[in-house]
A = this chain, B = another copy of it.
Amino acid sequence: MENKEEHTLVPGEEVADDEGSEVDPLSDPEERRVLFAALDSFRQYRQAAHYNITHLRRQSFYSLPSAHMELLASESFNLPKTLDAVDAAIDANADIADTVLALGLDMYGLDPESTEWRGAATSQDMDKVRSTIRQLYRDWSAEGAREREACYRPILAGLNRAFEHVSPSKRSNVSVLVPGAGLGRLAFEICNAGYAMEGNEISYHQLLVSNWILNYTSGPKSRSIFPWALGFSNHTHRSHQLQEIQIPDVWPAEELDKSCKTLSSELHAYQRMSMSSGDFCVLYKEERYRAAFDAVTTCFFVDTAPNLIAYIETVKHCLKPGGVWINLGPLLWHFEGGSPEKQKISSSSETGRENQDRNQGIGESGSFELADEEVVKLVEYFGFEVIEHNPVHGEAGYIQDPRSMLQNTYKPSFWMARKM
């Protein structure tokens, strides 16, 4: 990670269009639109949050009967001071949004003042930038360890079980694909354990932030975020809303250096870690990916499929015979019902998970939702042997303040299947 050209995990390195060939996102009108909207949402984060979160609340506060206002402004309650503290928290979060934006503009060679991308964000993009910044809690803070333990650890343990015959120093010979790589933590952990890892992600929001956190942070706990500051409900204590956390909990570059030595890895981590951007079902159905991987790991991913069969066929295509598919996640079907309205409900901020997909092309050619027992049966039908299945594997929140009076807790299903 010292040399940007060689070692960074550059998002956008591979973008597949519908025909499967690689494209520069700036040369494809639809990709440009999506990228520009994502970039602009990072630019607008600060102003939108100040407006929606504190400005409107101050208006509501100053509309109160004056006796009520005076009481709530007194030392005992001091709501104006709370709003000032939330403003400061928004600014800390927005500083990260600005850092990510500057990096993205630089990477794509865009003019910071150009109107070609400024103003492109939709309200969905604004939802995504908020949830992506909060997601740093889950993926890259010490406080988020419990959520990661419940989700990433079983996958990593499954991978180690499946390849227990491979000594840690030779795990670079085991290639692992991580679709839906998100902010890159599971991908990083797999690489850190010695495997050759390729991540894939479709969302530019996620790609922009993962690029920053993996390649451009200046050290462990070098930045602050306030993951709960924008929400005013279900706090037992006001201090919980204003909790400040340090990110990243570990410094990726340093950790990978250390693990290479500990594992006596035959290949340095920089040479066995890459990230692709684009639609999983388009890119990894290409001929060059036939039987390319020893393992595919999917975490909170299969329920993003409008048509799960397309996902299964893609995993099957890119896995070697005898390769394993390790899955963990709930079944919050992101396209539930197929209608945009339904998507909105199922991807609301209450469940923590935003719909990060834009594969509408696939959505248009039909969709369906299965129960866990049916998912496993379908995987078997397509030529996999399900070698482990635990329908309720522990439980964990998804970007969830553990002190909140409302806990959204997932009870994910875990299974491992071998391609026959």
Contacts and interface: CB of A to CB of B under 8 A. Distances in A.
A70 B15 CA distance: 33
Interface in A33-67: 52-53, 56-57, 59-65
Given A62-B366, A64-B367, A241-B371, 9 more contacts: A60-B368, A63-B364, A64-B366, A77-B377, A234-B332, A236-B392, A240-B371, A345-B348, A350-B351
Nearest to A365: B63
B331 A235 contact: yes
Contact of A350 (B63, B350, B368): B350
B373 A339 contact: no
Contact of A57 (B240, B331, B338, B405): B338
B337 A56 contact: yes
Interface of A: 52-53, 56-57, 59-65, 68-69, 71-72, 76-77, 79, 231-238, 240-241, 303, 307, 309, 330-333, 336-339, 342, 345-346, 348-351, 364-374, 377-378, 381, 391-392, 395, 404-413
Contacts of A52: 337, 339, 342
Contacts of A407: 395, 407-411
A188 to B, nearest CB: 26
9 contacts: A60-B367, A63-B365, A64-B307, A68-B307, A76-B381, A233-B346, A345-B349, A346-B350, A404-B411
B395 A331 contact: no
Nearest to A412: B405
A56 B233 contact: no
Contacts of A381: 71, 76
A233 B332 contact: yes
A373 B237 contact: yes
A4 to B, nearest CB: 39
A155 to B, nearest CB: 17
6 smallest A-B Cβ distances: which pairs?
A64-B366, A63-B366, A350-B350, A232-B369, A330-B405, A60-B338
A165 to B, nearest CB: 32
A406 B374 CA distance: 18
Nearest to A57: B337
Contact of A372 (B69, B338, B405): B405
Given A411-B405, A413-B405, A336 B233 contact: yes
A405 to B, nearest CB: 4
B372 A237 contact: yes
A59 to B, nearest CB: 7
Given A52-B337, A68-B307, A333-B233, A406 B351 contact: yes
A106 to B, nearest CB: 34
A308 to B, nearest CB: 9
Most buried by B among A61, A331, A377: A331
Nearest to A369: B232
A377 B76 contact: yes
Counting chain B CB atoms within 10 Å of each CB, which of A336, A351, A371, A395 scores highest?
A: A371
A79 B238 contact: no
Contacts of A336: 231-233
A237 B376 CA distance: 11
Contacts of A333: 232-233
A372 to B, nearest CB: 4
A30 to B, nearest CB: 22
A409 B406 contact: yes
